[in-house]
């Protein structure tokens, strides 16, 4: 019988995950079906239970359910444990196992696809939502010089930095929370936009002068020209959108479910053509 997987979220119709997993399955010869589940905002657990009852094997979890998925998982693997957010659920018999592959996906896109060395670099992470929680630990493992987290609602950035305080020493000069206005006079080598501002055609209130010479500007939002990437390009930064991260996090989920690692480069190339 074909094993069933899906992405669950609200909204979910825009998700590219079904197409990505269909290509992975074709390329690796895995017999899976991968669909979309639109769950009511107050109906995540019921939708997961219905999917499991129909012999579903695993789910990718997207907005706004990543924290709820973390709470639902009886077992949380490596990065999911510290992140407090889960984007991949695996149903292993009676057990629900939660993983977070967002950070692995981002770091793999940065280091493997874009050939960026994070170690020793000054990193600015914008946003303090689920995506930022997911990428903090894998980014800190790369040992940047500094990691500054900026957010429109400063309290949330402070809370996030507090959450990862025990990992503080992984960044050579520590981690810190700032308001956007507080970034004036600081330069960064890698500026990551983990806010959803680009979806509304907006960008965080970045001051001038944050991009060091040769800086990379990375927007997790994909498949559109975001104001942040336009802003960065106009200031001489190298730019990248979140397509690579999307495909890499999907590949990691596929690997966790199927034990087979699909090639990502052909899928990234195809998505960029569309
Ligand atoms: P979230 O939990 O809803 O958090 C949204 C964040 O964006 C918050 O920090 C919020 O700030 C900030 N924000 C929203 N509008 C803003 C604006 N106009 N100006 C400044 N800040 C703004 O969302 P999330 O789960 O972290 O996801 C964030 C984005 O990353 C989404 O667009 C998602 O699609 C993308 N993402 C991409 C991938 C990928 O594979 N490429 C993976 C994960 C996520 P406040 O706290 O002040 O409200």
CB 99 within 8 A of CB 45: no
| Annotated catalytic residue 66 | yes
How much is the pLDDT for 125? 98
Pairing mode of beta strands 122-126, 146-150: parallel
**Full DSSP string of 26-82:** HHHT--EEEEEEE--TT-HHHHHHHHHHTTEEEEEE-TT-HHHHHHH-SEE-HHHHH
Please give all residues whose beta carbon lies within 6 A of any atom in ligand 1, as ranges.
63, 102, 105, 127-132, 151-153, 156, 194-197, 199, 202, 204, 220-222, 242, 245-246, 249
> Given 57, 66, 121, 156, which residue is catalytic?
66
Q: What is the pTM of this model?
A: 0.95
What tens digit of pLDDT does each residue of 37-68 get?
Answer: 999 999 999 999 999 999 999 999 998 999 99
CA 215 to centroid of ligand 1, rounded, Å: 22
In the reported structure, the alpha carbon of residue 236 is separated from the centroid of ligand 1 by a whole-number distance in angstroms of: 24
Angle at 188 between CA 187 and CA 189, to 5 degrees: 135
CA of 243 to the centre of ligand 1 (A): 15
Token pair of 197, please?
């501002």
Choosing from 124, 127, 153 the residue with most ligand 1 atoms within 8 A of its CB, the one to mutate for a pocket test is 127
For residue 114, the model assigns a pLDDT of 98
Which residues, given as ranges, of the chain have pLDDT below 50?
Answer: none
């Amino acid at each position: 019988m074909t094993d069933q997987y899906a992405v669950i979220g609200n909204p979910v119709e825009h998700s590219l995950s079904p197409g990505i997993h269909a290509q992975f399955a074709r390329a690796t010869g895995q017999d899976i079906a991968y669909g979309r589940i639109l769950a009511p905002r107050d109906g995540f657990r019921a939708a997961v239970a219905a999917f499991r009852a129909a012999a579903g094997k695993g789910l990718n979890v997207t907005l706004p359910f990543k924290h709820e998925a973390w709470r639902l998982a009886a077992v949380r693997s490596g990065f999911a444990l510290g992140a407090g957010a889960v984007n991949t659920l695996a149903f292993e018999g009676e057990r629900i196992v939660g993983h977070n592959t967002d950070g692995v996906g981002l770091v793999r896109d940065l280091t493997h696809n874009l050939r960026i060395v994070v170690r020793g670099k000054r990193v600015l992470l914008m946003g303090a939502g689920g995506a930022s929680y997911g990428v903090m630990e894998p980014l800190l493992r790369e040992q940047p010089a500094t990691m500054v987290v900026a957010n429109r609602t400063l309290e949330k950035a402070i809370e996030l930095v507090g959450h990862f305080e025990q990992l503080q020493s992984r960044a050579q000069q520590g981690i810190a929370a700032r308001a956007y206005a507080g970034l004036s006079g600081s330069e960064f080598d890698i500026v990551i936009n983990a806010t959803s501002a680009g979806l509304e055609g907006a960008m965080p209130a970045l001051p001038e002068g944050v991009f060091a010479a040769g800086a990379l500007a990375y927007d997790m939002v994909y498949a559109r020209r975001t104001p942040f990437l336009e802003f960065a390009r106009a200031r001489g930064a190298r730019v990248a959108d979140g397509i690579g991260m999307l495909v890499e996090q999907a590949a990691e989920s596929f690997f966790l479910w199927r034990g087979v690692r699909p090639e990502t480069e052909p899928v990234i190339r195809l998505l960029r053509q569309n």
